[in-house]
Amino acid sequence: MSGENHVKKTAVFLALILGLTGMCSRASASPKVAKIGFALSMTGAAAAYGETQKNGSRLAIDEINARAGQEGIKITPVFEDDASQPQQGVNVFNRLLFADKVVIIIGPTLSNTAQVADRIAQGAGAPVLGISNTAKGITDIGDYIFRDSLTEMQVIPNTIRVVEKRFGIKKVALLYGNDDAFTKGGYDAFKKALGDSHIQILTEQSFAKGDRDFSAQLTEIRSLQPDALVVSALVEEASGIVSQARQLGIPASVPIIGGNGFNSPSLIKNAGKASENVIVGAAWNESSSNPLNQGFVRAYTAKFGAPPDQFAAQAYAAVYIVLDALKRAGSTDNRKALREALTRVGGLDTVLGKFSFTKGRDADYAPVVETVKDGAFTVFGQ
């Protein structure tokens, strides 16, 4: 522990020194200001994700502004709340684009909102970088729409392959949230991946957003004795499912497999011991040894008193991706130039990994499969 503390202190010290020297050396050339809009769900059903997204981006912006002289760019964020509703999302986009005149919008939190709001940005010729939109077709809206979030379709097939290879599962039970776009999309991805791997689905059970009791579905599943339990859920429901499954006596030898939604420290915190050995296909590897990532996790935990989740990581990465593009765009208020620069982001070192955009402006980097060991996520395979 003390060793880690020491490393942390040194890192902070070094960062300070670097920052100061940077500021001194470029004190004369004042940095250019980039106005970035954030449309996040700070209230409403998705408030939990909007909150960590705001934290993640806040952290990145503070880091960048602290060494603005060195980066040559200073970021002025405009945070707005889409209240988890498409209607509000549209209003917020209009404001950010036409009143605040931001150069790019990061967000919105929910795919449903993105489906409507992103069209406004596309029409106005302003780039959007989605950080948690996983529904299919979001980037098909137009050539100004990007995302750094891997979709369930990109994450899940790999997960199923890895798990199948390791455990040789033949028949599974599938449990998913059927009234939420994200969990429904995850369900589709799982179903396809399971079919491709010729794994039999014994039963498909669903639940609704906000449900906390899953005993009826899990009892049904338990009675069919599957080799594995495959779950598409967001973390609130996921922790309940995991702990109730174990409590109802679905044995630890039956692995529980989840997607992006499971990739949050809350899972371990709220499901406790039951979360051991849960397998998570994810777009961000918390335990990655990448120093950038290590630094992010440390700084975030120090600043907000809780470890980051995938939403925070994707938001954090997004700010750096935009920064990278802004530097190459040669201007901080030219939306078209920024769009061009974004398409050329390639092999950028981020907390998510080596990041590029695909031709279709989707995220392109390797997903991971994690598992919970001794109360922490560790890599299971890639």
Partner 1 sequence: MKLPADLPAGAASRADRGLAIRLRRRAAEVVALSEFFAVYGSLINFAGLNALLALSLYVPLSAGQLSLGNAAFAGIGAYVSALLTMRLNVPFPMSVAAGGCLAAAVAMAIGAPVLRIKGIFLAMATLAFGEVVRICAVNLSITGGAEGLIGIPNKTTAVMIYGALAATAYFLTALRWSQTGWSFASIREDETAAMVMGINTTRYKNVAFILGAFIAGIAGGLYAHLNFIITPAEFGFSAEVQLLIYNIVGGTRSVFGPIVGALILTAIPEALRAAGVTAGPLRLGVNGLILLLVILYLPNGLSSLFAKKR
Partner 2 sequence: MSVFLQQLINGFFIGSVYGLFAIGYTLVFGVLDILNLAHAAIFTLGGLSALWLTTTAGLPGWIAFPLATLFSGVLGLLLYRVAFAPLRRRADSNLSGLISSIAMAIVFESCALGIFGARTVRFPEGMFQNRVYHFQSITITSLQLEIVAVALGLMIVLSALLKYSRTGKAIRAVAESENTARLLGINVEWIVSQTFFVSSALGGAAGILYGLYFDALAPDMGRSIELKGLAVIILGGMGSIPGAILGGIAFGLSEVLTVELTGMSNLRDAVAFTVLLLILILKPSGLLGRGRARQA
Contacted by 119, from partner 1, partner 2, none: CB < 5 to 8 Å by type: partner 1
Residues that bind partner 1 (CB under 8 A): 42-43, 45, 79-81, 83, 85-88, 90-91, 94-95, 97-99, 111-112, 115-116, 119-120, 124, 135, 137, 177-181, 183-185
Contacted by 200, from partner 1, partner 2, none: CB < 5 to 8 Å by type: none
Min dist CB 43 to partner 1, Å, is: 5
Min dist CB 117 to partner 1, Å, is: 9
Contacts 24+ apart (CB under 8 A), 336-345: 336/125, 338/103, 338/104, 338/127, 339/125, 339/127, 339/143, 339/144, 342/127, 342/129, 342/146, 345/321
Contacted by 321, from partner 1, partner 2, none: CB < 5 to 8 Å by type: none
Residues near 177 by beta carbon (within 8 Å), at least 6 away in sequence: 183, 184, 206, 207, 208, 209, 232, 233, 234, 237
- CA distance linking residue 326 with residue 349, whole number of Å: 16
Q: 169 and 227 in contact (C-beta within 8 Å)?
A: yes
Q: Where are the alpha helices (DSSP H) in 176-309?
A: 181-196, 215-224, 235-247, 265-271, 291-304
Min dist CB 213 to partner 2, Å, is: 5
Task: Name which of 232 and 288 has its Cβ closer to partner 1.
Answer: 232
Min dist CB 188 to partner 2, Å, is: 14
Min dist CB 191 to partner 1, Å, is: 13
Residues near 198 by beta carbon (within 8 Å), at least 6 away in sequence: none
Min dist CB 225 to partner 2, Å, is: 11
Contacted by 236, from partner 2, partner 1, none: CB < 5 to 8 Å by type: partner 2
Residues that bind partner 2 (CB under 8 A): 42-43, 45, 47-48, 50-52, 178, 203, 205-213, 215-217, 219-220, 222-223, 235-236, 239-240, 243, 247-249, 266, 269-272, 306
200-231: burial string, b at 16+ Cβ within 10 Å, e else:
eeeebbbbeeebeebeebbeebbeeebbbbbb
Contacted by 10, from partner 2, partner 1, none: CB < 5 to 8 Å by type: none
